A and B are shown apart, each in its own frame.
Chain A
């Protein structure tokens, strides 16, 4: 009898001791797009779990383009689904998510330690709606070996680039070698394609959320890209080319100049690259008489408004956006930091020497219009760029189409 009681007590104690930590555990689910190296974020999160008892974090991945990712999150969030606690968002989206009431504000966070562009992108109506995960920008990738061979300096203007590309492709006599690869497909990247020369003429697209469209600058921008397609600097099917096509073609050694984001660098130095050790990265060229401009990229951490664990999720986001994680991701995943001083950090520059020159580019990168209706702005610009490059519309018609549609969206 006595033994039975003891056994029962032991059983109870066992159940309680197993149940207690299970009750205290907070399960957080975090969404990371599959192209953003979730396996390396996992390592950073493991460190967080180790020092934060009671919190378990699982990662959900999916959507390998910004559009696919946004579509998935649009569905989940408009259903008010509480299953995701933390979301990674493209830099263009915090404003839209905040306006829809899908993210909760992160109160009491001082954003002044971040690069100003990221502090701005995550502030809507004076409130902090998300925190920076990592920075990004577009660069001009070039074949250092070919430029050296012909004694050419990296071009400062698009005209110089055109001449340099012609000299090299004529000299190489390789039918597979193209002068310039950029994004002409109707994807998010095509919005930047339009904006680079437009901004470079000193024009802005919006001013305090209102449209400030310069028709002539827009015509010149569209005409510039069309001229690359027409004169053979770029491929004839440039209207089919997406961001990763540019990366693959450059990596295969078929491109002299390429417009691309920072992620392409690590892969161009990889084992599968035909151009490892032959790649240079520079600022993007400018329009004649203008100044170089680049598109601000990057990703942010938002807390879902439908999460049942608001405090824990906000603490996790603060950690993921901290200088220590930013440094860890810069060294291990080659993701550009959102803290200026990390670009000079010895450990970071040892792992990725080119980061030392990247800060200047990131600092001068311009954000795409910050508006809750950004998806419509983006769709207008990218389909028009695509139509102009395919020869469906002229640059003049394209500029008028963008103007009339943006007027309706940003009224």
Chain B
């Protein structure tokens, strides 16, 4: 009801309707529905349908290797998940990667953005170097860093040896392998953070800093009292994107360690891939994917709430 009135008001404000609307003799409400329909349909087709289908499949025992027809099993796949230590391990690894790499990429990204915003005479080399890690495909970054961290031929161990430190067999220990993966993810994703923050930085009027200069505020104070508060919206947007992609981390650990040693660096997305693509267990894989979807939704909801209270 409320929508109709508000539409009426807006229609009153703009009394001249297009000729074809008058010709079709449409009410404002039908017109709104008509115009929104294609977008809504497309959205339903590419988002709502697959998600519903995924949830539906997760209630079936559907394994292409069993040769058996799909059978409705209710919550059995979810029950299996609770008893599955690999599910908990991969979920924990995913959360840990998020907790380490999101703040890590934020700090590095903020630094890079501030640097790129400095009044250099020519700024394109700085901005280009920001774009390169962002533009590189994830799996390619994983492949390059797998070589960097290789215990015998890698450049990282070579540098360690040159400064007199012993080389590390990175992928032979869960902790070092995890560290190598997190460093790679931070390298790969901080430039994305920097790009969004840089856009935010450029919307801050110079006059604010000039006024602060007049008032005698130092660089440090200017950063905390002007830059950071005004950057908050850009930072939150960057955090939302980064956190969601982090929950879906797949390519970099897949290329660097394949989840090893053992399953100690495997992520939830890798476990979903393994169950669906390698084991062809579509029922269990769908149930896992539903959990990941729910996790992403929760995180987004928290962030959106954060923005609302901030405003």
Chain A residues within CB distance 8 Å of chain B: 67, 70-71, 74-75, 78, 96, 99-101, 185-186, 236-237, 239-240, 372-373, 375-376, 379, 383-384, 386-387, 389-393
Contacts and interface: CB of A to CB of B under 8 A. Distances in A.
Interface in B263-298: 263-264, 274, 277-280
B261 A99 contact: no
A91 to B, nearest CB: 17
Contact of B262 (A75, A236, A373, A390): A390
Nearest to B80: A408
Interface in B246-263: 258-263
Contact of A96 (B65, B150, B152, B262): B65
Contacts of B150: 240
Contact of A383 (B171, B172, B262): B262
B172 A391 contact: yes
Contacts, number: 85
Given A240-B151, A390-B173, A375 B259 contact: no
A186 B263 CA distance: 10
Given A99-B67, A100-B65, A240-B169, A186 B278 contact: no
Contacts of B66: 99, 372-373
A304 to B, nearest CB: 15
Interface size class of B (residues with CB under 8 A): 20 to 34
Closest 6 CB pairs of A and B: A387-B262, A390-B261, A372-B65, A99-B67, A237-B151, A237-B169
B103 interface: no
Interface string B134-175: 000000000000000011100000000000000001011110
A78 B279 CA distance: 12
A99 B56 CA distance: 24
A383 B260 contact: yes
B64 interface: yes
A373 B278 CA distance: 10
Nearest to B261: A390
A375 B171 contact: no
A16 B197 CA distance: 68
Contacts of A236: 169, 172
Nearest to A125: B67
Interface string B51-93: 0000000000000111100000000000000000000000000
A387 B172 contact: no
B76 to A, nearest CB: 13
